[in-house]
Amino acid sequence: MMIASVIVDVPAKQTDRAFDYRIPEQLKHVIQPGMRVVVPFGPRKIQGFVVGIKEKSDFDKLKSIVEPMDLSPVLNHELLQLGDWLTEQTLCYKISAFQVMLPAALKAKYDKKIRLANGYDVEILPLELQDLFCRNETILWADAVEKGILPLLQREASRGTVEVVYEVKERVKKKKLKHVFSKLTGNELSQAIQQLPANAAKQKEVIEYFIERPEPVELREILSALEISSATIKGLVQKGILGEKDMEVYRDPFAHREFQRTEPFPLTNEQEKAIGPILDSIEEKKQHVFLLYGVTGSGKTEVYLQSIQRVLQEGKEAIFLIPEISLTPQMVKRFKGRFGDQVAVLHSGLSTGEKYDEWRKIQRKEVKVVVGARSAIYAPFENIGIIIIDEEHETSYKQEENPRYHARDVAIERGRYHKCPVILGSATPSLETFARAQKSVYGLLTLSKRMNDQQLPTVQIIDMREELREGNRSMFSRFLLDKLKDRLEKKQQTVLFLNKRGHSSFIMCRDCGYVVNCPHCDISLTYHRFSQQMKCHYCGYEDSVPTTCPECNSEHIRYFGTGTQKVEEELGKILPEARVIRMDVDTTSRKGAHEKLLNEFEQGKADILLGTQMIAKGLDFPNITLVGVLSADTMLHLPDFRSSEKTFQLLTQVSGRAGRHELPGEVVIQTYTPEHYSIELAGEQDYDRFYDREMMIRKLHQYPPFYYISLITVSHENLMKVVSVTEKITHFISSKLSKDSIVLGPVASSIPRINNRYRYQCLIKYKREPRLGEAIKTVLDQYQQEINTNGLQISVDVNPYILM
Ligand SMILES: Nc1ncnc2c1ncn2[C@@H]1O[C@H](COP(=O)(O)OP(=O)(O)OP(=O)(O)O)[C@@H](O)[C@H]1O
Ligand SMILES: [Zn+2]
Ligand SMILES: [Zn+2]
């Protein structure tokens, strides 16, 4: 008898182990480790992953596998092992570890069918199958099971003649939004304008919009772009000029694009020196982790590209990770330009189905390079030759839900398996990584000069308190304003950066200082200009903006904070001649908008690019000679020991956008705390001194990289309950650890209540605690009953990036 060990799709403590199932005779040669199967579990039939096959079981009465869900394994041997490792490292359930490695389509609801693979004729199939495929383009999986032809199909699948397709049900991920489109041709529209009454200015504006851009547009977008109400559109719909329909908003922006092929540059001396050890490591087939520490614009990307090229020559595959926010069209162009259609791109703009298609290209070895954000680290390649993590310091590489993994750790683990180099690249490495490079745990490769031999841009720090004292109440210092005017005259471009992170716009009473908070969470509500609503970002609570202050009845209660729209308005007043492109979540929510705006800026259609985090990275335009940072310190005051590091990194990245080509660059940083070392040293672009300074502080306060930390957060509706459970946990953990470790708690989390649940935490700092994982598991076991029945929640984050 053949028996399969199966991890079932029930993420709970009691089911977090393999269950044995009998493999029915007719599936004996079908079932393999790494396949998904349907198994009976209690009264239900659920999905599971086969993790092993054996001949004996300790149990006698085994149930049988109902059917397989795949023709070939979706998780290869390496990824199955990686799942075990993830479980150990992040203390998550096995099933969560497997699921995080797969595209959403394989988790979702779907219709499963089998069809002839592209380029094959029915004649290639055995007779029994020919008949079926002659009559139908696809065969339902369920029918194939019933007819008993799965083994036949499987043989064909391994020859590549048939394939399984999943049709993701619409409901799952695809988002449909109301779009407006023109029912008339360009000429007809022009005529229609003539026929409108003279006072229909708004309607005329809409028609002009469609003459310029005939494609359908999302309703919400045109309303905000033209600042009109939906009544204007309705009027045009009634006249039969426009139509409305629901349309899918996701599209692959690269689908129909031709990419111009580029050739490798001859490397500079510095680049040669940096790439040498990487190429050696590829040659020797040895795992090696490198930090490529190169200032902005020093040609890191070219080093990545040429390393990948070597890997491809060896017949191997490459994974290139980049933060979602930097996964710009420019970056994609550089990869597709060099490697053509050997590149798969995984980004959040793809629909579930499109992501699944890209994943399948990887699995079927149709591509050799994957470029993508965090989850692309699980690309199912089997012969990896290099893994590269660009902007390795970015915190988005840490997943903030279970399994709480860091892509850097996964990369190093996979590199170990494949015996290949792992490259961590940054101009501002994380302290953890730089410290390891200093201790030679990682190889240190340095690019200290910019490509064009230009100096790094000069940086001027402006004290905004001083401005205020001298009567300047504007959000622009006089110095920055002068520079802006100067660039306008010279017809050079400026990037204006507004730091939004940790800086939400809230509603405040100017008379009494009252701030509107969420009634369920101890945090202020965020104002959403578009819907004119206030929203809680933690529980979703929504309310309209009060017209008078609930505290003092004053009418001076309003939106506070500097949004990009507000900056744009102010620019319009002080520099009316400047052409401004604004990039933020509002103007880039539509697919392709991001690229379109950047293209316009590149083509010189604007003088100033104004934006948030999304413009801090990756821009490489020759005409940018000035970068202005409007609010440098908003992030400094977050309750997070990494806030100085994040501020330094961000300021350095933004500054790096200026003067990357022939023209020299200049940076102006406005701040209320010019004396803070992370701002001062970002001004000097002196990473090394920042590193020394910050390391001293980390050492003093016993934080990473001197100590590891783990965070346990307890939450419950009853405050007393939370405090007492956290206290017990703190005691228990302390008793299990060595005296060199520090256990802090119980303390209230920095957001002490979310969705009416109180939150307390216990923070553990340690250098080496092999028994910590076990101790935490014991805690979870002990409270399992309460977690299941009375709503207690305990979450564990090993190496947390968010401490709130
Ligand atoms: N060897 C080379 N010869 C000529 N030009 C090069 C060479 N290497 C890189 N470049 C060009 O120099 C510019 C900067 O290089 P690149 O964008 O690779 O730097 P980077 O270090 O990745 O920058 P950042 O991290 O700031 O985005 C690019 O326009 C690139 O095409
Ligand atoms: Zn008030
Ligand atoms: Zn809330």
Domain residue limits, the chain: 3-107, 110-168, 176-248, 269-452, 458-503+562-697, 506-561, 708-798
441 CA distance to ligand 1 centroid (A)? 27
Closest ligand to Cα 755: 3
What backbone torsions phi and psi does residue 289 show, to the nearest 5 degrees? Answer: -105, 130
Q: Atom of ligand 1 at shortest distance to CA of 294?
A: 21
Q: Map 643-694 to HEC letters.
A: HHHHHHHHHHHHHCCCCCCCCCCEEEEEECCCCCHHHHHHHCCCHHHHHHHH
Q: Atom of ligand 1 at shortest distance to CA of 295?
A: 21
Q: β-pairing, 533-535 with 526-528?
A: antiparallel
- Side-chain-side CA neighbours of 113 within 13 Å: the count stands at 15
**Crossing angle of helices 687-700 and 643-655, rounded to 10°:** 170
> What pLDDT score does 500 carry?
65
The residues lining ligand 1, judged by C-beta closer than 6 Å to any ligand atom, are 265-268, 271, 294, 296-302, 427, 451, 618, 620, 656
* Helix (H/G/I), strand (E/B), else coil: 124: helix
> What pLDDT score does 303 carry?
97
Sheet strands (E) in 521-577: 526-528, 533-535, 542-544, 557-560
Residues of the chain with pLDDT under 50: 168-175, 249-253, 501-503
Matching fold, domains 3-107 and 708-798: no
Cα(94)–Cα(80) distance, integer angstroms: 10
Q: List the structure tokens of 362.
A: 């990887």
Q: Map 274-302 to HEC letters.
A: HHHHHHHHHHHCCCEEEEEEECCCCCHHH
Could you please state the CATH topology (level 3) that the domain comprising 708-798 is classified under.
Alpha-Beta Plaits (3.30.70)
Tell me which residue has tokens 């969420």. 518
Residue closest by Cα to atom 28 of ligand 1: 299
Residues 6+ apart with CB under 8 A from 551: 509, 512, 514
> What pLDDT score does 152 carry?
87
> What pLDDT score does 143 carry?
83
Judge whether 627 and 654 are in contact, CB under 8 Å.
Answer: yes
> What pLDDT score does 715 carry?
95
| Cα end-to-end distance, the chain, whole Å | 52
> Is domain 269-452 given the CATH code 3.40.50.2000 in the classification?
no
503 CA distance to ligand 3 centroid (A)? 17
- The closest of 442, 451, 527, 464 to 679, measured between CA atoms, is 464
Cα(428)–Cα(685) distance, integer angstroms: 10
Q: List the structure tokens of 531.
A: 């819907």
Could you please state the CATH topology (level 3) that the domain comprising 3-107 is classified under.
GIY-YIG endonuclease (3.40.1440)
Cα(473)–Cα(465) distance, integer angstroms: 10
pLDDT tens per residue across span 256-310: 566 788 889 999 999 999 999 999 999 998 889 999 999 888 999 999 999 999 9
744 CA distance to ligand 3 centroid (A)? 27
> What pLDDT score does 198 carry?
80
H/E element, 311: helix 300-313
Q: β-pairing, 557-560 with 542-544?
A: unpaired
**Crossing angle of helices 201-212 and 219-226, rounded to 10°:** 120
Could you please state the CATH topology (level 3) that the domain comprising 458-503+562-697 is classified under.
Rossmann fold (3.40.50)
C-alpha separations of 665 from 14, 179, 332, 581, 651 in Å: 60, 42, 26, 20, 15
> What pLDDT score does 80 carry?
97
Cα(49)–Cα(95) distance, integer angstroms: 8
R_g of the chain, CA atoms, integer Å:
29
Query: Bridge partners of 543?
Result: 534
User: Residues 295, 592, 399, CA angle at the centre, nearest 5°?
Assistant: 55
> What pLDDT score does 672 carry?
82
> What pLDDT score does 136 carry?
77
